[in-house]
Amino acid sequence: MAAAAARLLLRSVSSKDPVTNIHASLHNSFGVTLLKLFPSCTFKPKTQKRHAAHFTFHPDPVPTKYGSTMKMNLFQSVTSALDNTLSSDPTAVIFGEDVAFGGVFRCTVGLRDKYGKDRVFNTPLCEQGIVGFGIGAAVGGATAIAEIQFADYIFPAFDQIVNEAAKYRYRSGNLYDCGNLTIRAPWGCVGHGSLYHSQSPEAFFAHCPGIKVVVPRGPIQAKGLLLSCIADRNPCIFFEPKILYRAAVEQVPTEPYLIPLSQAEVLQEGSDLTVVAWGTQVHVMREVAAMAQEKLGVSCEVIDLQTILPWDIETVCKSVVKTGRLLISHEAPVTGGFAAEISSTVQ
């Protein structure tokens, strides 16, 4: 969304009040796209002043198969997953910048007091060192959960992730691996994050075999998918939409549960257009789908991809075969974004 907003500003779409009109411009651009797909429909662009980071969070139904639930926002569901892991796995350790006092987003609050300074501890401000330590700990048999304070800061650790963690099993001839490594990072735009607190770098890592990349849309998915990443036998990067940390609230099971990786979820069935997104954009696209139905009479099938690598090709292609059209939305820049991979595969 941030990249789209920048392009709209450069094109002077909103001349008087660009910031508050960004969402209206995006509303118009999606409408124009839908109009190209459905020429017989009518769409009238309109000015609509709304906050640039506006979206409506759509909570999922209360899950019943995992036992009792508790009202949690997204950061609390992450805390719950980490708490479950530390409680059940004596080899689990959590580390990163400021995690000992709870982290800047409070995802590790209370865990150091509960489990001790040897299992929840701070690291120096060195992302390469954080991931490198995690690789070594995982190879040594620990369940290593590393936190990168913001996804924007993950790039100093790029070599450690793509050349060490991802290739460790292959390089050793399957004698060793660091599959017990999970890397968490707050991800995506937040409305005021600027250049170091707004990026969505999932596509950088989608090119690299040997790791898995996951982005949840809400608290229920965050806990189940994070626990699946921790249990998976491959290094995983778990990007957490930071704008949803407090904005997204659901009834989340208190006991541990797993949501399968590499399985997209069809959130809304439709017949005219397949809409694919992940993270916060799932909720934006739900609004777009409702707008398309109301204004254009277009029935959208909305899919949450959930796992970026390896992604669920079968579910997406099956939907596109049914609808014949595909619209993909992500927060990252368009050029080289993961939408290009999805589009090329579908075509």
23 catalytic residue (yes or no) = no
pLDDT digits (tens, 9 = 90+) for 228-240: 999 999 999 999 9
Q: Give kind and range of the element (H or E) at residue 83.
A: helix 74-88
pLDDT bin (cut points 50, 70, 90) of residue 16 is very low
DSSP-assigned states of every residue in 135-195: HHHHHTT-EEEEE-SSGGG-GGGHHIIIIIITTHHHHTTTS---TTEEEEEEES--SS--T
- The CA distance from 202 to 338, in Å, is 8
* pLDDT reading at 20 higher than 80: no
Nearest alpha carbon to residue 86 among 122, 112, 67:
112
pLDDT, position 194: 82
Angle, helix 74-88 to helix 219-231, in steps of 10 degrees: 30
pLDDT digits (tens, 9 = 90+) for 137-159: 999 999 999 999 999 999 999 99
pLDDT bin (cut points 50, 70, 90) of residue 48 is low
> Over pLDDT 70: what percentage of the chain?
84
* pLDDT reading at 246 higher than 70: yes
Helix (DSSP H) and strand (DSSP E) numbers for the chain: 13, 13
**Among 59-68, 117-126, 184-193, the least confident range:** 184-193
pLDDT, position 125: 96
- The CA distance from 225 to 230, in Å, is 9
Q: Give kind and range of the element (H or E) at residue 253.
A: strand 249-253
pLDDT, position 9: 32
pLDDT, position 6: 37
pLDDT, position 54: 64
pLDDT digits (tens, 9 = 90+) for 212-229: 999 999 999 999 999 999
51 catalytic residue (yes or no) = no
pLDDT bin (cut points 50, 70, 90) of residue 21 is very low
- The CA distance from 146 to 127, in Å, is 10
Phi-psi label, residue 315: left if phi above 0, alpha if psi -120 to 50, beta otherwise: alpha
pLDDT bin (cut points 50, 70, 90) of residue 1 is very low
* pLDDT reading at 26 higher than 80: no
Average pLDDT over residues 113-132: 98
183 and 314 Cβ atoms separated by less than 8 Å = no
249-253 vs 69-73, strand pairing mode: antiparallel
Average pLDDT over residues 288-303: 96
Catalytic residue chosen out of the listed positions 23, 27, 97, 127: 127
pLDDT, mean over the chain:
90
pLDDT digits (tens, 9 = 90+) for 271-288: 999 999 999 999 999 999
3-class secondary-structure state, position 70: strand
CA angle 279, 282, 287 (to 5 degrees): 145
Domains of the chain: 2-54+263-346 (3.40.50.920), 69-253 (3.40.50.970)
Beta carbons within 8 Å of 160's beta carbon, 6+ residues apart: 128, 131, 132, 135
